[in-house]
Structure 1
Amino acid sequence: MDRSSRAVFPSYRAVFRRWLACAVLLCGVAQASVPGLARAAIAPEVDVTLQAAFWVDATGQATVDEVVSLPATALQPMEHYRAFRLDGAALWLRVEPPSLDPGHRWYLMLSAAAFANRATLHTLGPDGQWQKQEAGDRLPVSQWDHPDQTPVFALAPQAGAPVWLRLENRPASLSPRLLLMTEERLLEMRSWTFLMVGGYLGFGLLVLFLAWVHARLYADRAFVAYCAYVICMLGFQASFTGIGGLFFWPDHARWNDAAPALFMLWLTASGIWFVREVCAVSRYHQRVDRFVLVWSLFGLVFPALYLWLQNQAVFVVLNLYGLLSVLLSFGLCVWTWRLGEKYAGWMAIGFLPVHLSYPFPALRSAGWLPDGWATQYAVLIGSAIEIPLLLYILHRRAKEFNENRARLRAIESTDPLTGLTVVPVLTLRLRDALRRARRYGHRCGLVLVDLANHADIVSREGREAGDRALVVAASRLSAVVRDVDTVCRIAEARFVVLVEGPLADDELKRLAQHIVARGLERIPALPADVALRFRLVSMALPDDTMAGVDDDHLVTHMGAALDRMVSDPRKVVQHLSPATNSPQPEEGSVELPAAQKWAK
């Protein structure tokens, strides 16, 4: 490239430098025009959990004044994230906020919405009196001081005194995580959470609608079980993330407290039922099928006992039921897959995203993992992958089963080898065609076609080649007629073509010539010197000369005429004329050499 071309076309580096400078300039303008976003980027949330000190009130009756007056040695530093099993006790956290910018509104967030029965923040007011803000599952979200998906408390920037947070929860362990953030950062986190969970719920409802459409279309119980599974999964995610308490049941505290556990049990029970239906366990072992059915029913009725007792024993049973159900569902899928259930293996793969993400919230509720982003949203992300994947597997399964059922139904009305109509269907259509022809005064046609050289093809090329010749013959006969006409195989190498009316006198003759010519065309699946040599008899109906012949015996009479043509191999087409009382060859019958010439 010469210098002139370099001057006209700038280098890629120069273009990239200019684009980067414009992008930086636009970012600077946007940051300057939205000062709130700039300050939010400078002041993100701060995790103050490990800066707190804690004390466990075994009685759960201590007041804030009594806790404040405790000696310093009674409080223990929160050196690491840990879980507390309270069971009637109360956890007190002493938090000393750092110096806060008075230009912002500050909030203290307690994460893990599904694991806090009651949370009360005590702050010292300007008058020296303790002021409290309350939240938690035992209090309706509409009555929280700051309604949100998780407990949130306002902090005064000018207050330099420590704040005291009192927490209660049973029977699950409590793993507190405290985040200090500005109002801008809180709104940003809330917007992203609403976007993610709202998109998930909307996508889940769409999948649920498609599943119900499939259930109505295929009449398959597996889709009904899948719908129940998806409904329970959506309910579990709405309650577990706190979206349900904020939007769907803000005035029902007891339901908000129990919903995560109940939906978890129903989700597990419906999942086992779903696996039972898809894997067809009853087909392989009756006792295993009854055990799986009882296991699923246990998950439906156990919530009543859980709500009644709500102690550590039923909570252990709940966790064991969920863990063992994961192993049971995966084991059933692999077991039935090895026994020949093809889609059971795909089901095992489809369940993997939730099976791999389930341990995070399970270990969190058991107190073995601290609260975090993974424990809160792992199952949500896994189910977002699993739900459409399972629907696709179900769709492929139902489609294949429906095609098999359609083939079984088609066997009753079609010829297994050629796919043509069977004789009973031809008889019904022939009667209807004759009835319409007599009523409206027009004619229909009946053509009896014989594959004359079928025996020669079998003896020369074998039975497989003979069957292939029959299939090709059926295909070519179907190609020369209309969709409303009927082609039927009535014997091993003999076919009947019913031509619906109204039909002109010479149309049947042209059709006969066309059939002979199509048979002489080259067949790619057979040797080059092998052709289909058709011999046929045609008749326009209704025929007054055949008035004494029953409709069922028309084909028999035409077959007799076709058999008499064997004596004269040069005759390949015979049209039975209504002018004669006996079937005789018409004067213009087509002979074999003429048919070959016409085909060329």
Structure 2
Amino acid sequence: MPPASALHRLLARTVLLLALAFVAWHGGAQASSGEQDVTLRAHYWVDPTGEAGIDTVAQAPAAQFQPMAGHRTFKLGDAALWMRLDLPAMDPAQRWFLMLDSSAFTDHASFFQPRPGGGWQEQRAGDHLAVSRWSIPDRSPVFALDDTSAPLSVWLRLDNKPAPLSPRTTLLSAADLQQKRSWTHLLVGVYLGFGLLVLFLGWVHARLYGDRAFVAYVVYVSCMLGFQVAFTGIGGQFFWPDWAWWNSAAPAVFMLWLTGSGIWFVREVCAISRYHRGLDRFALAWSVFGLLYPVAYLTLQNAAALAVLNLYGLLSVLLSIGLCLWAWRQGERYAGWMALGFLPVHLGYPFPALRAAGVLPDSWGAQYAVLIGSAIEIPLLLYILHRRAQHFSENRARLRALDSTDPLTGLTIVPVLELRLRDAIRRARRYGHHCALLLVELSNHADLRLRLGQDAGDRALVLAAARLTRVVRDVDTVCRVTDTRFAILVEGPQRPEHLKLLAQHIVAKGLEPASILPGDATLRFRLVSTLLPVDREIAAEEEERVEARRALQRMHRALDQLADEPRKAVWHLPREQPVNPALTGTPGQGGADAQPLPGAVPR
């Protein structure tokens, strides 16, 4: 998994490249000198029965047709729209084409031009016809013009149900058509490639953190990619060219799944169930409705079903914003960031939604507003989820660490030390060497707390833990065994001279000045040390546990006795020898051979 900073830089650069690419695409697409919008040159007539043929329409009186005064939408239902395009003479050295945009909103498109010997030549397209059977397979209906040396009138029959129809026809030369195809394929391909990359990263995060929010994110991004593939016509051209039924149904199905999965995603990230069970169940039911409603919509295929679809999409936008802001007000930190992350798509969604409802005519913005918004939204949401998961993971790690670490100093607790001490003694006996055990006490802690206060006393303990940790290796263990005492387990092999140097280093380290302690306060350590294990054989695990505890108890007794020797700070206990009771005059605490070794450091 790449570091967080590297992931952030990668996503930021990719978003910037996508934005520049879309700007270049829009500029390149509009820069074609031979591209002409001929929609406003058309005259139209709506056939209420939808059964009139080309011969009947061509022979109808001219007064029956109305001029196309502007880009508009037609709610046809079972009717059909006939358009007569009066085209001027064009350069016969080039081949010319007529393109009809918005393939997702045209069930049938039939293009008629007169034959030289009489009759009509028909070319067919539309999303109710498999793209592989179109006269010219493309992402949108494209029709070839045969004779352009003289002005001619061509006819276009269109129908679409239940969504309104907003025809926009463009006259293109072969070079301009190829340029338009290349730019569209390039930019949609970059978008899909980036979306698949983000999809993979989301799945990796889901496996890494085990967070259901990433699963919802993966589903949401998958539906977003499916919707864009279907809505732009790329799916019918490349992914399902032989599936006419799915080519017609895919935009509506993916739109509903996208909306439903988006509400589920918001529900998971904002943790609605944590704050209100009823609202959580409502959000879940709303998501399930989006998952199941395509069955009813495709069965009915009428104006009421389309109205429910559009209303569901609009209300889902408002619901997602409301849930995010409500959860943010409840204290969910990342819910507010989620509202901002969804903003690019929420700003772009009204354009295709109003286009589908027949309020806005077809346009470049209506086709690509959501695509551009999602290209910005998808990486933003992943970044927000990444930071959220990282934050929660750190909190869980801290909670788990409380079970095995000291809350004040962050050192391991006594049960962990005893376990590691038993393992160290077992390894030392197996390989024939000795490990070392030191018990260190912050002897002036009571004085620091009395002079400087409880807060300074706690800081002194934290500083002592930090300094003891720095003087040993990573494989060694430092543990706070009592309020002011620390045990250090030094893994073997160890020798007495090494142990003496380490003890002197610990005492000297405590005397260094520290900025977190006021005045000239320093840490004064006194310690006892010994080499383990004893020479006798230990067979049972219980005996190893008893030996480890006996070693710690012996060290505590020795450190208690060392407190009565104010001139000494270090006592190296001889291996296998009990503590000398002569130091304290208390019988029963050791033999007569336990004396401070030469080289003890005076306090």
TM superposition score normalised by structure 2? 0.90
2:572 equivalent to 1:575: yes
Letter paired with 1:123: Q
Contact 1:545–1:579 (8 Å) recurs in 2: no
The residue aligned with 1:81 is: 71
Report how far residue 588 of structure 1 moved. 1.2
Deviation for aligned residue 1:239: 0.5
Residues 195 and 221, structure 2, Cα contact 8 Å, conserved in 1: yes
Aligned partners of 2:68, 2:312: CA distance in 1, in Å?
A: 33
- SS state of the match for residue 550, structure 1? helix
Equivalent residues in 2 for 1:51-450 (5 A)? 51-155=41-145, 156-158=147-149, 160-450=151-441
- Could you report, residue by residue, the CA deviation over 1:171-226 in whole angstroms, capped at 9, with x for unpaired residues? 00000011111111111111111111111001100000010000010000000000
Shift of 1:502: 0.8
| In 2: Cα distance, 1:589 partner to 1:459 partner | 32
1:505–1:371: structure 2 CA closer, same or farther, 3 Å change rule? same
CA distance in 2, matches of 1:567, 1:106: 106
Structure 1 CA distance for aligned equivalents of residues 483 and 202 of structure 2: 46
- Structure 1 residues 538-577: aligned runs within 5 Å: 538-544=529-535, 550-577=547-574
Percent identical pairs in the alignment equals: 63
Runs of 4+ in 1 over 4 A off after TM superposition: 40-43, 544-549
2:525 and 2:336 mapped to 1: Cα distance?
51
- 1:465 counterpart letter in structure 2: A
The letter of the residue matching 1:50 is L
Q: CA-atom RMSD, angstroms? A: 1.6
Per-residue deviation, residues 484-538 of structure 1 (Å, max 9, x unmatched): 1110000010000011111112111111111111111111111342111101110
3-state SS of 2:563 partner: helix
8 A Cα contact 1:43 1:182, kept in partner = no
The answer to whether the 8 A contact 2:504-2:601 is kept is no
> Unmatched 5+ residue regions in structure 1?
1-39, 594-600
**Is contact 1:53-1:94 (8 Å) kept?**
yes
Q: 1:68 to 1:506 in 2, by over 3 A?
A: same
User: Which residue of the partner structure matches residue 502 of structure 1?
Assistant: 493
Q: Which moved more, 1:572-581 or 1:454-463?
A: 572-581
Query: For the residues of structure 2 that align with 1:71 and 1:47, how far apart are their CA atoms?
Result: 26
Answer whether contact 1:571 1:589 (CA < 8 A) is retained: no
Within 2, Cα distance between the matches of 1:109 and 1:400?
A: 51
Distance 1:63 1:165 in 2: 11
Q: Distance in 2 between matches of 1:521 and 1:482?
A: 20
Q: Distance in 2 between matches of 1:502 and 1:181?
A: 84
Letter matched to residue 70 of structure 2: H
* Aligned amino acid, residue 86 of structure 1: L
Cα separation, 2, equivalents of 1:42 and 1:263: 33
Give the distance between the partners of 2:240 and 2:341, measured in 1 at CA: 32
| Rounded Cα–Cα distance in structure 1 between residues aligned with 2:133 and 2:113 | 19
Query: Hey, what's the Cα distance between the residues in 2 that align with 1:42 and 1:78?
Result: 24
Displacement of 1:389: 0.4
Q: Which of these residues, 450, 471, 475, is aligned with residue 480 of structure 1?
A: 471
Of 500-509 and 400-409, deviating more is 500-509
Query: Residue 586 of structure 1 corresponds to which residue in structure 2?
Result: 596
Instruction: Tell me by how many angstroms 1:578 deviates.
Output: 3.0
CA distance in 1, matches of 2:125, 2:103: 10
Query: d(CA) in 2 for partners of 1:99 and 1:141?
Result: 30
Q: Give the SS at the match of 1:435.
A: helix
Contact 1:575–1:589 (8 Å) recurs in 2: no
Alpha-carbon distance between aligned partners in 2 of 1:96 and 1:135, rounded to the nearest angstrom? 21
Rounded Cα–Cα distance in structure 2 between residues aligned with 1:587 and 1:555 = 19
State the aligned residue count. Answer: 554
Query: Alpha-carbon deviations, 1:133-153, whole Å to 9, x = none?
Result: 000001110111111110011
Alpha-carbon distance between aligned partners in 2 of 1:194 and 1:529, rounded to the nearest angstrom: 72
Q: Deviations over 1:358-410 (max 9, x none)?
A: 00000101111111100010100000000000000000000000010011111
Bigger shift: 536-545 or 499-508? Answer: 536-545
SS of the aligned residue for 1:83 comes to: coil
> Cα deviation per residue 1:214-270 (whole Å; 9 max; x = unaligned)?
001000000000000000000000010000000000000110001000000000000
Helix, strand or coil: the match of 1:535? strand
CA 1:82/1:509 → structure 2, altered by over 3 Å: closer, same or farther? same
Q: Secondary structure at the match of 2:76?
A: coil
- How many angstroms does 1:41 deviate by? 7.4
Structure 1 position 551, deviation (Å): 2.1
C-alpha distance in 1 between matches for 2:240 and 2:251: 13
C-alpha displacement of 1:43: 4.3
Q: Deviations over 1:314-366 (max 9, x none)?
A: 00000000000000000000000011001000000000000000000001011
Distance 2:398 2:575 in 1: 41
